[in-house]
Structure 1
Amino acid sequence: MDASDSTLKGNPTLLQSQELYDYILKTSVYPREAASLKELREATANHPLAFYGTEPDSGQLIAILLKLVNAKKTIEIGVFTGYSLLLTALNIPEDGEIIAIDPDRKAYEIGAPIIEKAGVMKKIKFIESLALPVLDKLLEDKDNEGSFDFAFVDADEHNYYNYHQRVMKLVKIGGLMIYDNTLFGGGVVTPEAVLEVKRPLIPPLLEFNKAVAVDDRVELCHVPCGDGVTICRRLR
């Protein structure tokens, strides 16, 4: 069958309808969202950078993936107010561990009381820092290589591939690496749809998407969920 055949093109209306997205949220996402996650999402809503937060439908997908790989030790790059951090903490075992890295402690402190109230703060080690120095420090200890079950990357798109190279060493074979915002509001194909101030992030995302798509060390699925989620499973 020719690649131009319409049967291979999917249904673009499924990616473009706000009404359909609202339907998904109202039908399948919000009714199952934990009360603490809803509280944190609402506490973030008036923040001028609220769009930094993980979309709840993406969070629902991440929760399933965490459970499918029985994740216990995870790493998170980019915390903001902590929606994805709380979600992860709620979905790993009581003796689970999350290393969470973000230079913005002020934003993290918006969600911290809610995380504390949810009873999962003991699972979290928050490191106030840029991510690359922390990742490099972790890799200095050979015991950290292949010791993580799961990684979630949601910050500093300019460094996505640099993060990928490092978390590939930290995450075990068979573990998952999740990269958020990889469709960037459709900006990867329609830059004019993105605010001009955000457009400089599009080229590095395009480069990351291209590079990871041909990385034979991983299995890959690019999901049009939230702002675009790339799921990688480490093969070797």
Structure 2
Amino acid sequence: MPDFLVDEAIEDYAFVNTRAEPPLLQELIDQTNLNMGWPQKLSGRLVGRTLKMLAALVQPKQALEIGMFTGYSALSIAEGMPEDGKLICCETNPRAIEFAKGFYDRSEHGHKIEVIFGRALDTLETLDVELDFTFIDADKRNYLNYYERVKEMTRPGGLIVLDNVLWSGKVVQPESDIDDILVETNHRIANDPDVENVFLTVRDGLNVVRKLG
């Protein structure tokens, strides 16, 4: 699995020339690297600032994150949301939830975030909301299931953003079931008459999807 899908110097240049995240998020990165397994699951500055920018443009009152990990992307999204916005985060790792809540309690945007423990597909069946914005970054085997269910819940004009859609480049030459699911998800979105999308080669790939009316 390559660390960089584009030239490392270009990746570094983009990082340096993107406005830095707030100090609390920089601390969250450091503490995740020190104390949590799989710290590479963090979204990182380029994805995080993209999410914050998109949320600031959409101004979602009802938002969803599937796959929260230690809270970097959730706080990035919440930063761009209106003061009365609500972000529901689905997560199955109790330790990650405890870690993230410590940072939510210290953030001026933490009051916007509600964490629900459990399988996201089960949680989605309990929610009675019309979504303005969703970020999907969880188990890849369910990516297509997440997309289809979230699309049903999203208002016309709402955004769905899927992370890791390049899957370290494996979508170009798929070899496993998970690779195939990512390929199928990307193909389904590109050919879905209910949406328009742009596939961005940011970090490990972001698919930004807008539901049509």
* TM-score calculated relative to the size of structure 2: 0.92
After superposition, give the CA deviation of every residue in 1:31-66 in whole Å (9 maximum; x if it has no partner): x21111111111112332111111210111111111
Question: By percentage of residues, which structure has more helix?
Answer: 1
Residue by residue over 1:148-183, the C-alpha shift from the partner in whole angstroms, topping out at 9 and shown as x without a partner, is 210000001111111111111211100000000000
Q: Which amino acid aligns with 2:155?
A: K
| 8 Å Cα contact 2:134/2:161 also seen in 1 | yes
Letter in 1 for 2:14: I
What residue in structure 1 maps to residue 152 of structure 2?
169
Moved over 3 A (4+): none
Paired with 1:24 and 1:17, the residues of 2 have a C-alpha distance of 11
Structure 2 stretches of 5 or more lacking a match? none
Note if contact 1:67-1:91 (Cα within 8 Å) is conserved in structure 2: yes
Q: Does 1:27 align with 2:10?
A: no
2-structure distance, mates of 1:156, 1:21 = 25
For residue 124 of structure 1, report the CA deviation from its aligned partner: 1.3
The one-letter code matched in structure 2 to 1:124 is: I
SS at structure 2 position matched to 1:66: helix
Moved more, 81-90 or 109-118: 109-118
Q: Where does 1:1-236 land on structure 2 (aligned, <5 Å)?
A: 16-29=6-19, 32-46=20-34, 47-138=36-127, 141=128, 144=129, 147-190=130-173, 200-236=177-213
- The one-letter code of the counterpart of 2:7 is S
Match of residue 7 from structure 1: none
What secondary structure, in the 3-state scheme, does the structure 2 residue paired with 1:117 have?
Answer: coil
2 CA distance for matches of 1:111 and 1:39? 12
- Residue type of the alignment partner of 1:159: N
**Counterpart Cα distance in 1 of 2:101 and 2:59:** 25
Secondary structure at 2:18 match in 1: helix
Contact 1:43/1:111, CA 8 A, preserved across alignment: no
- For residues 68-108 of structure 1, the C-alpha deviation after alignment (integer angstroms, 9 at most, x for no partner) is 11222101100011100111122212211011101112112
Tell which structure's C-alpha radius of gyration is larger. 1
- Equivalent residue of 1:177, what SS? strand
- In structure 1, how many angstroms separate the alpha carbons of the residues matched to 2:110 and 2:62? 14
Task: Mark the runs of 5 or more structure 1 residues left unpaired by the alignment.
Answer: 1-13, 193-198
Please list the CA deviations of residues 127-161 of structure 1 after superposition, one character each: whole Å capped at 9, or x if unmatched.
Answer: 001000111222xx4xx2xx221000000111111
TM-aligned CA deviation for residue 16 of structure 1: 2.2
Aligned residues: 209
Look up the equivalent residue of 1:229 and give its one-letter code: L
**3-state SS, counterpart of residue 17 of structure 2:** helix
